[in-house]
Chains A and B, each alone.
Chain A
Amino acid sequence: MSRITLSNLAHSYLPKPKTPADYALKEMDHVWQDGGAYALLGASGCGKTTLLNIISGLLRPSQGRVLFGETDVTDAPTAARNIAQVFQFPVVYDTMTVRENLAFPLRNRGRDAAYIAARVDQIAAMIGMEAMLDRKARGLTADAKQKISLGRGMVREDVNAILFDEPLTVIDPHMKWELRTQLKQLHREFGHTMIYVTHDQTEALTFADKVVVMHEGRVVQTGTPEELFETPEHTFVGYFIGSPGMNLFEAEVEGNMARVMGHPVPLSASYPAARGRVQIGIRPEFVQLADEGLPAIITRVEDVGRHRILRGEAFGQPVNLLLPEEIPAAPGPAFLRLAPEKINVYADDWRVLPVGARRAA
């Protein structure tokens, strides 16, 4: 087990990439700490799978290095990297039994029979397939097959990392929750580095200690779920994490005062003069109805149980509010009050730090 470092890494599927748009992965430096449970979150096609395949060696990056600990493995084949990876769709060896499937990676590494038997039983218990061990894998259902794939991913104890590429897509919701819990437990028990790719934020937030958000081939933020919620570093994170996503308003910012189409919005800190397209962002949770403030029109009230989502429009842009059940709300004109300490300022989509503040590591 070791730390995984991606240094100056970029990848393009084209033989001669020219513009940045030709790159599936834009240049990045990233470190996966040894033993971390990471979720790699992002929309479909943002480069998540590409990144995983580069780590496992299925793909050679167009530029940059991959380091395991201090060793450069950029040119090492997959087999030499000792990585486990589970794919989105189940891959089982049809002609083998479930037991042989689970034992396969161990057998390929030449482990002795007694160890393999014990380990396979252990994994079978974990994925709940003890009863089916001697059945051929061919006739099984998709989610049973995916459980075998997961089991094969977890069966080796000495791997450098386990990579999961949206592994629970084909699994039914109840089993999904259970397997995710199993994975977390496995992580606590063995301390493997785990990278879990998903586009489902609930899945990401429940599984991981650290969430890595990718957008258009870039890592835009790495942080705890709380950090992603409180201080999204990029407007995409604000929009992607949280339901509904962050509200954004075009604004001019001067010191500790923002103006949205001339309406003053006080901020809790002072900001340096920002260049480019300036926006202020605030989570729907921190927007309230008030007697004065930003004028808006509420168009819809959705009751979702413990709270209500108010959807509306302000200055031609959609705006969402999340209000507790007991506060009365009805469609029509309204004024919005934004909690100053919850407002983030963005210039060209990236967060602007208040004067004197330092970025969290």
Chain B
Amino acid sequence: MEKSWNNRAWFLVLPVLALVAFSAVVPLMTVVNYSVQDTFGNNEFFWAGLEWFEETVTSERIHAALGRQVLFTAIILAIEVPLGIFVALHMPKKGFWASLCLILMAMPLLIPFNVVGTIWQIFGRVDIGLLGRTLTALGIDYNYTNDWLDAWVTVIVMDVWHWTSLVALLCYAGLQSIPEAYYQAAKIDQASRWAVFRYIELPKMRGVLLIAVLLRFMDSFMIYTEPFVVTGGGPGNSTTFLSIDLVKMAIGQFDLGPAAAFSIIYFLVILLISWVFYTVMTNLDREDRP
């Protein structure tokens, strides 16, 4: 079929452009605006150039927060992804128990973030919390308010409790799409349980795993509410992740310029790492092709 060439067709893109501009570009621009200016109050701003960016990149405090952030994200990905796959593999495939499992698994996902934080904040308290008191009664010296390791363990366990379901549910959906004939053929071919996982289940889950890893990476890298409610970033700075640090800077100290520069770099880092994840995982896929 002959297609006509008409540049006026671009006008059809305008509504989308306008929407995206209002929803994303314009708010982001205000951040960009702050990031290159300085103020001494009275709503007077002065051009500051890249000064805030230099400060952000060289700040030891932010480096430390970034280090904690990377460690936290790495730990929760290393736990939640394998655990999610494991749970999905062992969930019933159909019937009453499958529905029950799905509902129970979805529960943590439905709880608002600050409620999750509050639940764990109280749960872990040594004076009134079930977990804290039990551990103390067992003779374990646990107190997330003054021991950094206890704080980390609490925050990580809370995140695993909150989000493993997401990975499990996504993997479960991937597993459900595998036709029964594949398992039958594997039995006929006398494949081991591991071979079934490696050659049938894992390849079929790859697509949803990519989504799961990306979502969990982005969410955990931006985590704010839950650790803030539980530990407030402490003890000391031990659980001050990037978002907590950023909010302290922007709202606590009202350093709009440095906070804006920080935000932009933060955003670019997330974008970059997401891109790396995506590229690596889709290329693993493509490597299979001749």
Binding site for B on A (CB under 8 A): 53, 56-58, 77-79, 83-85, 87-89, 91, 93-96, 104-105, 108-109, 134-136, 138-139, 149, 152-153
Contact = CB atoms under 8 A, between A and B. Distances in A.
Contact of B288 (A79, A83, A136): A136
A77 B187 CA distance: 9
Contact of A91 (B185, B195, B204, B289): B185
Contact of A56 (B188, B192, B204): B188
A254 to B, nearest CB: 54
A104 B179 CA distance: 19
A88 B179 CA distance: 12
A90 to B, nearest CB: 9
B2 interface: no
B187 A134 contact: no
Given A87-B181, A108-B192, A95 B187 contact: no
A108 B290 contact: no
B203 interface: yes
A153 B184 CA distance: 13
20 contacts: A56-B188, A77-B187, A78-B187, A79-B190, A83-B188, A85-B184, A88-B181, A89-B179, A91-B179, A91-B184, A94-B203, A94-B288, A96-B199, A104-B191, A105-B188, A105-B189, A109-B190, A135-B290, A149-B185, A152-B185
Nearest to A83: B188
Contacts of A56: 188
Contacts, number: 63
Interface in B147-181: 179, 181
Contacts of A104: 189, 191, 199
A95 B185 contact: no
B181 A91 contact: yes
B199 A93 contact: yes
B189 A108 contact: yes
Contact of A108 (B182, B195, B200, B204): B195
A153 to B, nearest CB: 8
A95 B288 contact: yes
A91 B190 contact: no
Contact of B188 (A85, A88, A96, A138): A85
Contacts of B179: 89, 91
A78 B290 contact: no
A247 to B, nearest CB: 40
A138 B289 contact: yes
Contacts of B200: 93
Interface of B: 179, 181-182, 184-185, 187-192, 195, 199-200, 203-204, 288-290
Contacts of B181: 87-89, 91
Contacts of A57: 187
Most buried by A among B182, B184, B203, B204: B184
B199 A95 contact: yes
Which 9 A-B residue pairings sit nearest by Cβ, starting from the closest?
A91-B185, A78-B187, A105-B189, A108-B190, A136-B288, A93-B199, A79-B190, A85-B188, A95-B203
A88 B288 CA distance: 26
A87 B184 contact: yes
Contacts of A109: 190
A136 B290 contact: yes
B203 A91 contact: no
Contacts of B195: 108
A159 to B, nearest CB: 10
Given A89-B181, A93-B199, A96-B199, A136 B289 contact: yes
B189 to A, nearest CB: 4
A109 B288 CA distance: 25
B185 to A, nearest CB: 4
Most buried by A among B189, B191, B200, B204: B189
Contacts of B189: 104-105, 108, 152
Nearest to A93: B199
Given A87-B184, A104-B199, 14 more contacts: A53-B184, A56-B188, A57-B187, A58-B187, A58-B188, A85-B188, A88-B181, A91-B181, A91-B184, A93-B203, A94-B288, A104-B189, A108-B191, A149-B185
B205 to A, nearest CB: 12
B179 to A, nearest CB: 8
Nearest to A53: B184
A67 to B, nearest CB: 20
Contacts of A105: 188-190
A48 B176 CA distance: 26
A289 to B, nearest CB: 51
A135 B184 CA distance: 24
Nearest to A136: B288
Nearest to A135: B290
A88 B180 CA distance: 12
